[in-house]
Amino acid sequence: MKAFCLNNISKVALDTLKGADGTVDTIEAADSILVRSAEMKEMDLPENILAVARAGAGVNNIPLAKYAEKGVVVFNTPGANANAVKELVLAALLLASRDLIGGNEWVKANANDEAIAKTAEKAKKNFAGTEIFGKTIAVVGLGAIGILVANACIDLGMKVVGFDPYLSTANALKLNSKVKYTTDLKDAVKTADFVTIHVPAMDSTKGMINEEVINEMKKNVAILNFSRDTLVKEDALGAALEAGNVRKYVTDFANPKVVTFKNTIILPHLGASTEEAEDNCAVMAIAELKDFLENGNIKNSVNYPAMAAGVKNGASRVTIAHKNVPGVINHFTKVVADAGANINTLLSQSKGEFAYTVLDTDQPVEAKLFNGLEGVIRVRVI
Ligand SMILES: NC(=O)c1ccc[n+]([C@@H]2O[C@H](COP(=O)([O-])OP(=O)(O)OC[C@H]3O[C@@H](n4cnc5c(N)ncnc54)[C@H](O)[C@@H]3O)[C@@H](O)[C@H]2O)c1
Ligand SMILES: O=C(O)[C@H](O)COP(=O)(O)O
């Protein structure tokens, strides 16, 4: 494994690489890329890059279809930073309820006041707030982060409404039974004192918190966004903050528009910036890359199907990234037979318009035999 790092990747994780595995200084010398939030949309990858691992959850910075067309497998690290985000969302709930920032700023501004202990007792009424116990929170998106936030809010004595039309069975089993589940977004937000957003940024979710949805919310609602700024229609949000219908917007995403809005608390994308989350994500990303490069296995890819073929069972392992079209497997098996080899293992999986096939053969076979076959994108022999 020769990984090129597009962002700072946890040193703890990189230090676990041994022998031929390590990082390289140029993309031309690499077989893979480790990335966090660096923008890759305009990046054309050289042919030597076989895989990209996003040490984190969101892959909206990576052109997934474009890379799939080149046979570049893109991975992410589901859940590896979820606890870090959950903890920051809990902090955001408290920041939206108690004026901790205003109070702290007041103390700093009055640092030279010899009688500050006494003055503070008079000033504190300006920073009074409300409690979260007994309040209602709508959790939009019940994935790795949403589930942790929903369950933690139940433990804090809140009422929780969860919205996720695509809730997986595994996550449903983790959800506290006190969470009221709905598949209707407007229904989810209408009783909420807080709305927290935990869905991925995709074409289908862009601007989902729009004027219509905001209008369904109670006056004085606080919106927390630790997912992505593009999920919220910011003109509608700005107007609602201005009118006082939304009393607070706490977000992890600064942009030129949102920084001009009133009643906001804006953080510089700190959700996953804990030592633990950075290590967890990088360890998982490196493990995914190594298993793919060494064995051709695919775990947690966002543009290719999963493949669990274990280790090579024979003289050659041929891995083929290809289009999901009828008849291709017949062509592959014919190539192997024509080469005078037997197939020990044949596994094939598809995901949308792309597919991935692994063939273990008892005699060595060459990659070039498969190149040029209909639908074939990239062939490797391990
Ligand atoms: N602030 C940060 O540093 C930080 C850190 C990690 C993740 N994130 C963001 O949070 C997002 C969620 O992360 P995760 O780890 O929970 O991901 P996840 O994939 O585990 O969960 C996403 C959930 O959203 C649901 N979903 C998809 N489309 C939806 C829709 N239209 N309506 C409602 N639900 C929908 C899915 O069913 C899934 O349950 C990431 O995509 C990323 O953008 C931010
Ligand atoms: O999607 C994610 O995992 C987060 O937004 C974290 O991004 P980062 O790795 O750049 O901090």
Q: Do residues 228 and 60 make contact, with C-beta atoms less than 8 angstroms apart?
A: yes
Does one domain contain both 127 and 239? yes
Does one domain contain both 192 and 283? no
Q: Which atom of ligand 1 is nearest to the CA of 198?
A: 12
Kindly report the protein residue whose alpha carbon is nearest to atom 5 of ligand 2.
58
Boundary residue ending a domain (219, 243, 266): 266
Tally of domains within the chain: 3
Q: Do residues 259 and 231 make contact, with C-beta atoms less than 8 angstroms apart?
A: no
**Residue 173 CB burial class (10 angstroms; 0-12, 13-18, ≥19):** exposed
Measure the CA angle with vertex 114, ends 113 and 115; round to 5°: 90
Does one domain contain both 113 and 250? yes
Side-chain-side CA neighbours of residue 35 (13 Å): 23
Does one domain contain both 92 and 140? yes
Q: Which atom of ligand 1 is nearest to the CA of 141?
A: 34
277 lines ligand 1 (CB under 6 A): no
Is the torsion defined by CA of 75, 80, 84, 86 positive or negative? positive
**Distance, C-alpha 177 to centroid of its chain:** 25
Name residue, tokens 């994308």: 269
Does one domain contain both 74 and 105? no
Separation of CA 118 and ligand 2 centre (Å)? 43
Q: Which long-range contacts (CB under 8 A, 24 or more apart) does 44-49 make?
A: 45/70, 45/72
- The residue segments making up the domain with residue 204 are 82-266
pLDDT at 276: 98
- What residues pair up with 197 in beta bridges, in sequence order? 140, 225
Of 88, 198, 252, the residue with max ligand 1 atoms within 8 A of its CB, to mutate for a pocket test, comes to 198
146 lines ligand 1 (CB under 6 A): yes
Radius of gyration over every alpha carbon of the chain, rounded to an integer in angstroms: 25
88 lines ligand 1 (CB under 6 A): no
Which pTM value belongs to this model? 0.97
Boundary residue ending a domain (284, 302, 320): 302
Domain with 363 in it: what CATH number? 3.30.70.260
Separation of CA 175 and ligand 2 centre (Å)? 24
Q: Which atom of ligand 1 is nearest to the CA of 199?
A: 24
Output the ligand 2 site: residues, CB below 6 A. Answer: 36-37, 56-58, 81, 269, 271-273
Kindly report the protein residue whose alpha carbon is nearest to atom 11 of ligand 2.
272
Does one domain contain both 52 and 187? no
d(CA 171, CA 266): 29
β-strands 316-323, 376-381: how paired?
antiparallel
Does one domain contain both 76 and 115? no
Separation of CA 7 and ligand 2 centre (Å)? 11
Q: Which atom of ligand 2 is nearest to the CA of 252?
A: 5
Q: Do residues 214 and 246 make contact, with C-beta atoms less than 8 angstroms apart?
A: yes
Closest-lying ligand to the alpha carbon of 175?
A: 1
pLDDT at 171: 98
Measure the CA angle with vertex 29, ends 55 and 44; round to 5°: 65
Does one domain contain both 260 and 200? yes
Q: Do residues 194 and 136 make contact, with C-beta atoms less than 8 angstroms apart?
A: yes
Of 74, 145, 202, 269, the residue with max ligand 1 atoms within 8 A of its CB, to mutate for a pocket test, comes to 145
Separation of CA 252 and ligand 2 centre (Å)? 10
d(CA 118, CA 24): 59
Is the torsion defined by CA of 250, 252, 257, 260 positive or negative? positive
Q: Which atom of ligand 1 is nearest to the CA of 84?
A: 5
Boundary residue ending a domain (212, 247, 266): 266
Q: Do residues 220 and 193 make contact, with C-beta atoms less than 8 angstroms apart?
A: yes
pLDDT at 245: 98
Domain with 298 in it: what CATH number? 3.40.50.720
Per-residue tokens: 230: 């593009």
Q: Which residues contact 339 (CB under 8 A, 6 or more apart)?
A: 361, 363, 365, 366, 369
User: Low-confidence residues of the chain, pLDDT below 50?
Assistant: none
- What residues pair up with 136 in beta bridges, in sequence order? 159
pLDDT at 43: 96
Does one domain contain both 105 and 252? yes
Does one domain contain both 76 and 86? no
62 lines ligand 1 (CB under 6 A): no
β-strands 73-75, 136-140: how paired?
unpaired
Separation of CA 318 and ligand 1 centre (Å)? 34
162 lines ligand 1 (CB under 6 A): no
Does one domain contain both 146 and 51? no
d(CA 292, CA 32): 10
d(CA 286, CA 297): 13
pLDDT at 3: 98
85 lines ligand 1 (CB under 6 A): yes
Does one domain contain both 48 and 61? yes
Q: Supply the ipTM of this predicted assembly.
A: 0.99
Measure the CA angle with vertex 352, ends 303 and 343; round to 5°: 85
**Residue 97 CB burial class (10 angstroms; 0-12, 13-18, ≥19):** middle
β-strands 2-5, 32-35: how paired?
parallel
